[in-house]
Amino acid sequence: MEHRQRIVLPTDSLRLSRRRFVTGVAAGSALLGCGLGGRLSYANPGSRTAITTLAGRQFDLTIGYQAVNFTGKERLATAINGSVPAPILRWREGDRVTLRVTNKLAHDTSIHWHGMILPAAMDGVPGISFDGIKPGATFTYQFDVKQSGTYWYHSHSGFQEQTGMYGAIVIDPLQADPVGCDRDYVILLSDWSDEKPERIYAKLKKQSDYYNFRQRTVGDTWRDIREKGLARTRDDRSMWNRQRMSDRDLSDVTAYTYTYLMNGVTPANGWFGLFSRGEKIRLRFINGAAMTIFDVRIPGLKMTVVAADGQNIEPVTIDEFRIGVAETYDVIVEPAADSAYTIFAQGIDRSGFARGTLAPSGDWVAEVPQMDPPALLGHADMGMAMDMGGMDHSQHNMGGMDHSKHKMNTKRDITHVATEFGLNVDMRADNPQDGLHDPGIGLRDHLRQYGRQVLTYADLRSLAPTADTREPGREIELHLTGNMARYMWSINGIKFADAEPLQLTYGERARITLVNDTMMTHPIHLHGIWSELETGDPDYIPRKHTVIVQPGSKISYLVTANAMGGWAYHCHLLYHMPGMFREVRVS
């Protein structure tokens, strides 16, 4: 079988001079805003064709088939205006935008404007907010732009998003932007497979670990015996075997079939961004992948996070951050004029990466770092750490964090409902851990190990005061559930096809607590309404549209039901979405 991640570029195998010329790298790529005129980004690595940002109030978008070649083999993608990724849309806060979308596919399609606060009929989810766009038809989206920042758009029909139907949205603020910069780049991360998504999904349904090639070996067993002793190794293996789970199950789909892209460019070529001496650069990171959670860093360069999911936050300086599928983060960097830097986005399972280069000249290239070693899931990631005497606490070591703010959950204050017991659910987190201060599996000890400060949700503090300061009048607890062996995903043990809508009363303030009963990391997206993370400061609550829920953990946020109609609420991992999905009705 062929490994689809076509190139691995660790430091010890690729030592390029900064001044080595890279064929095809253009100096003016993807310049946006900040007073700059050039507005280009790359399409696919074969053609290096630039895709122009579309700016204004009126847009014509055509969805059709497009031949692409990311791996040396030509495949058919689903493209918007002939481009993968789709064109960057540039709007202005306060404007009314009109988008005429024409479907030239042989089947229905749709566009969802991810993170936008808009009327339900314009949200673009077939079966909930509209009927979809039929072949040959044109649907007109029209809505007022009530926010600014970095967002994105994608299909909400079938698996079209996996085949190339996604693009970035940049919204300029009506008032002066509190974030100053000299240069502005979109960094859109995604995952491409030459396999049809229906085939990927069918494989997962038959064998959930089909794409995972990091299973335990005999050598691992002997190493564990040397390090832990025979009795503890036997107990650990027995526990995992009883659960029919693997401590290496970090990502359902890996670089075995995926090629990871940055602005549509493969790791073999690498996206390129130019800077000049003394410039502040704004990087707008968007995770437009179907199934891949990325860990992002720029070796040798600090990043100051200034926005999360399009919303301005108090600046926080870090070395590394995790970006879940559908999340966005804006960062400011100030590179030195005599250096080139690698923007490095490694998959959560460390099977592959996307990369780009920031440099003052088009013939400079930075070294590509080695990927970090893959992490192992521990008892804490099963939500059972406090029940396991003698557990290996290193598997949930939150090294480098302020432990005075971190309180492990030491009581069972959750409720498992009757529907969580049955063939649809293969585990339950009886003692879920704190999901707010945890940077996540594979990042917990990076400050001690590598000197890298990692962003956590606890670091986020809104730049603007909390708009709705009422206490919640209702508590809603939802469990993210599944049966990994059967590749069945659900909420409270009920898949979407069998679930009743979640009802909210217009104007109410509610608290939603998400409990992850699985060992997978789930990015959960609520359409149409902000998810306001409870980080401990009620006066400056950060607003997000997508929230990562760590394995065996829980996290809570407040919502104000101020948008009438039906809204989608789901895990944004594409192959989890058919089951781990609810409709939210505000009436």
Mean pLDDT by groups of 10 residues along the chain of 587 residues: 34 30 28 36 40 92 97 97 96 98 98 98 97 98 98 98 98 95 96 98 93 64 59 55 61 95 95 94 98 98 98 98 98 95 97 96 92 80 44 37 37 82 90 92 92 97 97 97 94 97 98 95 98 96 97 96 98 98 98
Q: End-to-end distance of the chain based on CA atoms, in angstroms?
A: 52
- Nearest CA to 307 out of 93, 557, 545 is that of 545
- Nearest CA to 168 out of 148, 182, 188, 185 is that of 188
HSE, CB side, 13 Å, CA atoms: give it for residue 341.
22
**pLDDT in the model for residue 514:** 98
**pLDDT in the model for residue 238:** 56
**pLDDT in the model for residue 67:** 97
Strand blocks (E) in 348-426: 353-359
pTM, full prediction: 0.86
CA distance 195 to 358: 32
**pLDDT in the model for residue 381:** 60
**Which token pair is 71?**
């791996």
Cis check: omega of the bond before 85, within 30 degrees of 0: yes
**pLDDT in the model for residue 380:** 65
**pLDDT in the model for residue 228:** 64
Query: Which helix (DSSP H) or strand (DSSP E) does residue 259 occupy?
Result: strand 258-262
Q: pLDDT by residue (tens digit) across 173-195?
A: 999 999 999 999 999 999 999 99
Report whether 355 contacts 267 (CB < 8 A): yes
Three-class DSSP category at 152: strand
On the 0-12 / 13-18 / 19+ scale of CB atoms within 10 A, 418 is exposed
**pLDDT in the model for residue 235:** 54
**pLDDT in the model for residue 481:** 97
**Which token pair is 304?**
């100051």
Gyration radius of the chain over CA positions: 23
CA distance 559 to 523: 17
- Nearest CA to 526 out of 572, 465, 474, 467 is that of 572
- Nearest CA to 157 out of 136, 131, 134, 126 is that of 126
Tokens 């390090």, located at residue: 227
Which letter does DSSP use for residue 134 in this model? -
CA distance 76 to 79: 9
Query: Which helix (DSSP H) or strand (DSSP E) does residue 315 occupy?
Result: strand 311-318
